């Protein structure tokens, strides 16, 4: 089996205004991010701008829970930690 050596660099930045040049990255991965943003379409545009040669964003935004009875998708606004900001979140309802 061949070995692959890959450098992974973790960066923190404003998702809607990335401080990186165009075509700087091969891959962008986010987890539970898009639904928390007021303008997720701007973030996706930024990913496309900084990815090359073919944009490959990986976004994991799910409402998954192992349960016999699924919870409704629109219950997020009832949680105390989101009560003050849920009106700003584009996908808060699922």
Q: How many domains are there within the chain? A: 1
Domain span at residue 60? 28-88
pTM attached to this predicted model: 0.58
Interacting residues of 10 by C-beta distance below 8 A, sequence separation 6+: none
Q: What is the mean pLDDT of the chain?
A: 75
Residue 38, in any domain of the structure: yes
Could you report the per-residue pLDDT of 43-69, keeping only the tens digit for each?
889 988 998 877 677 777 765 554 544
Residue 72, in any domain of the structure: yes
Rounded CA gap, 85 and 92, in Å? 10
Could you report the per-residue pLDDT of 67-76, keeping only the tens digit for each?
544 455 556 5
């Amino acid at each position: 089996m061949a070995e692959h050596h890959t450098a992974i660099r973790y960066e923190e930045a404003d998702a809607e205004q990335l401080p990186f040049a165009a075509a700087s990255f091969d891959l962008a991965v986010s987890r539970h991010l898009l639904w928390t943003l007021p303008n997720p379409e701007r973030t996706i545009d930024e990913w496309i701008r900084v990815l090359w040669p073919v944009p490959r964003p990986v976004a994991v935004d799910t409402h998954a829970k192992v349960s016999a009875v699924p919870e409704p998708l629109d219950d997020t606004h009832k949680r105390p930690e989101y009560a003050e900001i849920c009106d700003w979140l584009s996908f808060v309802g699922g």
